[in-house]
Amino acid sequence: MEELSPFELNLFLEKKLQTTSHNNLKLLNAGRGNPNWTASTPREAFFLLGQFATQETMASQTGLMARMIEPSPGRFERFIDFLTKQPGKGAKFLKTILLDNPDYLGLDSHDWLDKILDYIIGDNYPSPVRCLNGCEQPIKAYLNESLFANQTEAFDIFAVEGGTAGICYLFDTLLTNHLLNQNDRIALLLPTFAPYLEIMDLPRYQFDVVEIKAEATIFEGKISYQYSKEEIDKLKDDSIKAVFVVNPSNPTANAMCQETIDQMKQIVSEDNPNLMILTDDVYGTFVENFQSLFAELPYNTACIYSYSKYFGSTGWRIGTIAVAKENVFDRLLKELPLTQKMILQKRYSALHPKIDEILFIDRLVADSRSVVLNHAAGLSSVQQVMMTLFSLYGLSDEGNDYKAEVMSICHIREKLLLDMLEIDELFPALNTAYYVEVDVSDWLEKRFGADFAAYLTNRWTITKVLTLLAEKERLMLLKSDAFGSKPWAIRISLANLDTDDYLEVGKRILRLSEYLKEDWMAYKKQQQIS
């Protein structure tokens, strides 16, 4: 089990514990990051749209086959009348979008309604394949307000099947187009989501990885995990072609501070202008006034965002890749050697006769369907509707209240847990409180002393400790070493259990620490006897 990834170990223990009971303890899994909340208003709006759209297809139905959605006189008025008869918040939200605040739609309200009803029926291939016309502007507006600090740089988006799909698509297209090659040097900001570390070792990539590690830093008397100037200065090496960052981080759950962003801007400007920055900002909406690297380095940055965590929508598999219209990726493609361009011309010949006129983002889309199926590429139109409604909700007044609730519940849970474990509060302004990372060895050294910590690290492993915690206390947590954290660090998700459960999580960890102490005392006694 020592060789299992954190997630596979978690799944193994969960399966084992579901078949056993122990002291009537409730099984608590604080290992996985799936949130235990959902955003109900945009979902209600989605199903109302679907209900009305289905009614519209049945308007002149005589047999079992309904019609496709086509423009119909009086539809807008029929829809408003339909919503007026619905009591929930979803109907009010849709009326507000269409009647009071249509600015984000990017289309006339009547045209937008026709398109969105067609999308939700799902009877046409997604077209345009990057992102549907009725979805593009709401998604862009949400990204710009929530992540990009309302910057003015024009950008394109590709709607994808969640953040992990976005990462896979990016790396594949970078490699296919020789912007990255096997054994190239890239930088990885650590800690990071464990599978991203594992991607780098796949036979297809085999990158030479430069690790840039965050460390505990004091901000206004409180701890935040940040990158030192010396670590970020590694990016001055212009043999580093790309840097990948999860911001805010996972599992340390801290956003990058402005000083680091400014330092990276200077490095790109003076030392490494061709640096390609890939940033996964899935946790950005959990930080007040968050600012993505894309906001200040749009030319060099591709931004991946997933709606999964914030809106409680991991099952929807929806996310985006954003790339500035003027970007380093397109410039580097034009600077490729002629021999490589000729090979790529053959690959993308079905898209355009001139390889230099095929944009990086369009290559992303085509590569997602092995190019030959580019005409059938694109995220499901139905998924794009849900993404659009989440985006419009995030821009609404109620969406602002939702943000406050989501952020508050995470910080309340964090405080309950940290107080129980007697761990100091983290610096709140940069802290998502979506996860908390605890170095078990350091924590137990503070509780029981250096001799005990030495015994623990010599006689135990973090895998054994977590396995015992699961078996004795029916509590599952995730080991963090595979995320690039310290060997004895663990990740506790603050998103997926009821709030009161985090008091119990703390109590069970404390009980296990007492058991480990007893084991140490027995070991010491045995050593004295022998």
Q: What is the pLDDT of residues 271-289, one digit of tens each?
A: 999 999 999 999 999 999 9
Whether residue 91 sits in one domain with residue 62? yes
Mean pLDDT within 229-239: 98
In whole angstroms, give the CA distance from residue 98 to residue 109.
6
Q: For residue 144, tell me if it sits in a domain.
A: yes
Q: For position 482, which CATH number holds?
A: 3.90.1150.10
User: Mean pLDDT over all residues of the chain?
Assistant: 94
Structure tokens at 435: 């996860």
Local confidence band at 21 (pLDDT 50, 70, 90 cut-offs)? low
> Among 67, 96, 124, which residue terminates a domain?
124
Q: In 3D, which of 121, 37, 33, 3 has the Cα closest to residue 482?
A: 3
Considering the chain, what percentage of its residues have pLDDT values greater than 90?
A: 86
- pLDDT above 70 for 22: no
Whether residue 297 sits in one domain with residue 181? yes
Whether residue 197 sits in one domain with residue 50? no
Determine contact, residues 247/287, Cβ cutoff 8 Å: no
Whether residue 217 sits in one domain with residue 73? no
The domain containing residue 72 runs over which residues? 40-124
Local confidence band at 527 (pLDDT 50, 70, 90 cut-offs)? confident
Structure tokens at 355: 């390889």
Whether residue 307 sits in one domain with residue 267? yes
> Among 106, 124, 142, which residue terminates a domain?
124
Whether residue 344 sits in one domain with residue 297? yes
Whether residue 216 sits in one domain with residue 106? no
Mean pLDDT within 69-75: 91
Q: For residue 10, tell me if it sits in a domain.
A: yes
* Structural domain total, the chain: 3
Amino acid of residue 387: M
Q: For residue 1, tell me if it sits in a domain.
A: no
In whole angstroms, give the CA distance from residue 119 to residue 46.
11
Mean pLDDT within 23-42: 92
Local confidence band at 193 (pLDDT 50, 70, 90 cut-offs)? confident
Local confidence band at 196 (pLDDT 50, 70, 90 cut-offs)? confident
For 378-403, write each residue's pLDDT tens digit: 999 999 999 999 999 999 999 999 99
Whether residue 515 sits in one domain with residue 471? yes
Q: For position 170, which CATH number holds?
A: 3.40.640.10
SS3 at position 125 = coil
DSSP string, 1-40: -TTS-HHHHHHHHHHHHTT---TTPPPEE-SS---S---H
- pLDDT above 70 for 512: yes
Mean pLDDT within 427-444: 96
**Which residues are 227's β-sheet partners?**
214
DSSP code of residue 426: B
Whether residue 347 sits in one domain with residue 488? no
Q: For residue 120, tell me if it sits in a domain.
A: yes
User: To which H or E segment does residue 240 belong?
Assistant: strand 240-246
Amino acid of residue 420: M
Whether residue 488 sits in one domain with residue 403? yes
Whether residue 430 sits in one domain with residue 342? no
Whether residue 231 sits in one domain with residue 211? yes
